[in-house]
Structure 1
């Protein structure tokens, strides 16, 4: 098959969870298929450079213009980038390139799917990565998209899609890990004289990183907190000083994804006490490195992390519970070793090659369904729905 992926930031170091998922899936599928990635211009990641993925750079929009637009409108930066990519791409033969070079196109952002499913003649697949999908954009996509094949990233996401949209999901492909990249043998990125706790993710309230800092302020055992990610870093520094641990918090900022393994192996505990997660890929990466995990008690996370077996789950926002769990782990090397070993074993279920096989089958189904509908249309059995934008 010739498989296309479309995402505004999938090829850059600023890629978030969905884009990283896309990168690994594209790289894995490129081992046996022709894969094209349509993304904004920029330096591709090492993963993509070393793969057989063909990157098709698209003109985007400058940060200055995007910021100005988001300030003056309710649209988010991702929406603006998607509109810019598709809009400018249409004027630069984007549609022709997709139709000439791909058999199926996969998108993961609602606006990308809404626009492209109505513009291209190849079958499209839409990947859901959230369970809070009842918003305006999601409903607009469901009403006007021409996509018939749906992918989910977890069973819980699949259940929500059925509950909200009354749609059958065609496949569930979980995020995965590369055990050659994420493993306990990776040299640590730094050394620490005292126990260390790591957070990886966007520095914002819903990720629970502010709760983590406040909880560590109530822990009796001396430790350091290492934060990897961009966002409200200055506010986090202020919170750390207010909690009395300003000297114990190290904010590393945003780092390339391929450098993360050394951060997981450098610490004693990984903590992601989020309020909302579609999956929590950072948890799985830490588990693959044999690092015990403390995370928010959320349905997507419970699908792969059993409380007390692979790590500990805490109620989002409960800093007292979080502090107690951290104190327990930081003072018990034996429990850390037990949980880390169990977590490592559990992570082996979630490899990219296993998950890419699911996506491959979903793409094949989309192509087959499209071929069947073309035959039915030719025989006059029924009309193929036409785009509202054509």
Structure 2
């Protein structure tokens, strides 16, 4: 099977959530398929360089002269870059390369899907990672895209797509975890004589970080809260922690390279992600793979893998006291911590990248079999030089 992935930033070391999803799927599928990743050039992720993925790079358009138009550009900076990338792909024969080398092509962002589905001859697949609103981008994609197949990364997202767009999602392909990397028994990066509560995520209110500060301030005894992640609200977090009289118990580690996260899980006693909204909550899954008991919020996306009282604990959204009560249950009972951690590690095997890639591979075979043979491209082949890695 010849499978293509298209994402402007999926090749880089500092990729975000959707880009990491793309990297992991491409790498896992490359073990038994011919996989091509079309992305802008940059500092490639080791995950890709160590895999059998053929990376085909376009120029980077971050510093293109049109950057000066960003304050007034109707599409915004990210979509400006995507538009330039697709324009370059058409002019430089990349579309011909896709038609000649692929059986199926995956996109993950609305403008990529809208543009490519109308210019390539191979079947295209669009994966919804979140659908929180029904703006112009979603409307245009829904009306003008020629994509044959829709996927979603969670049950909640699939339901939103069905309700908002009246479109059927063919398959759920969840995010995955590298259970070989995220596992118990690694050397801890943090330690303390007091119990450690670990938070990993963006430092924004929607991740529930302020609820967590409030909850920890209400706990009996001494605990430390270790916070891993980047964001623009560090000053606000420090101020709120001082107001709660607990600043000396909070440690901000900043952004940590993803491969180093298991060492932070290894030093913690409980993981807590009290998000207000979450389509899946990958940080929870990674903690569970490390056999770290998880306290998180009762969101539909999280309930996909976490069963309250069996492999973790669920608290009410935006309720610091309920969160404090659940944290107390875990911190006061070594037996509960062990039980939740062991069951979490066992249950999370269904959500490894390898397992999700296996399901995606089967979807590809079924989708290609159902698709009618594409007509040969009418345009003359365009000579081009492709940067590959």
Same fold (TM over 0.5): yes
Tell me if the contact between 1:60 and 1:84 (Cα under 8 Å) persists in the aligned partners.
no
1:299: which partner in 2?
300
Structure 1 residue 362: Cα displacement:
2.2
How many Å separate the matches in 2 of 1:320 and 1:63? 47
Tell me if the contact between 2:42 and 2:60 (Cα under 8 Å) persists in the aligned partners.
no
How many Å separate the matches in 1 of 2:239 and 2:81? 32
Structure 1 residue 291: Cα displacement:
0.4
Structure 1 residue 188: Cα displacement:
1.7
How many Å separate the matches in 2 of 1:42 and 1:221? 48
1:11: which partner in 2?
11
Aligned with 1:348: secondary structure? helix
Question: What are structure 1's unaligned runs of at least 5 residues?
Answer: 376-390
Structure 1 residue 8: Cα displacement:
2.1
Residues 346-372 of structure 1 deviation map (CA, whole Å, 9 limit, x = unaligned) = 112212222112211222233233325
Give the paired residue count. Answer: 375
1:290: which partner in 2?
291
Structure 1 residue 235: Cα displacement:
2.6
Alignment of 1:1-390 (within 5 A): 1-62=1-62, 70-73=70-73, 75-132=75-132, 134-232=134-232, 233-371=234-372
Distance 1:289 1:143, change over 3 A: same
2:387: which partner in 1?
none
Structure 1 residue 214: Cα displacement:
2.5
Aligned with 2:42: secondary structure? coil
Structure 1 residue 340: Cα displacement:
1.0
Distance 1:140 1:33, change over 3 A: same
TM-score (norm 1): 0.89
- The alignment yields a C-alpha RMSD, in angstroms, of 2.3
Distance 1:239 1:332, change over 3 A: same
Tell me if the contact between 2:121 and 2:374 (Cα under 8 Å) persists in the aligned partners.
no
Distance 1:373 1:163, change over 3 A: farther
Structure 1 residue 338: Cα displacement:
1.5
Distance 1:148 1:320, change over 3 A: same
Tell me if the contact between 2:121 and 2:375 (Cα under 8 Å) persists in the aligned partners.
no
Structure 1 residue 64: Cα displacement:
9.8
Residues 168-223 of structure 1 deviation map (CA, whole Å, 9 limit, x = unaligned) = 22221111222211111222222222211111122111111222122222222322
Distance 1:26 1:214, change over 3 A: same
How many Å separate the matches in 2 of 1:250 and 1:93? 51
TM-score (norm 2): 0.89
Tell me if the contact between 2:13 and 2:46 (Cα under 8 Å) persists in the aligned partners.
no
How many Å separate the matches in 1 of 2:243 and 2:63? 33
Structure 1 residue 373: Cα displacement:
7.0
How many Å separate the matches in 1 of 2:16 and 2:221? 33
Aligned with 2:191: secondary structure? coil
Distance 1:261 1:150, change over 3 A: same
Structure 1 residue 164: Cα displacement:
2.1
How many Å separate the matches in 2 of 1:221 and 1:13? 40
1:385: which partner in 2?
none
How many Å separate the matches in 1 of 2:75 and 2:221? 45
Question: What are structure 2's unaligned runs of at least 5 residues?
Answer: 377-389
Distance 1:373 1:313, change over 3 A: same
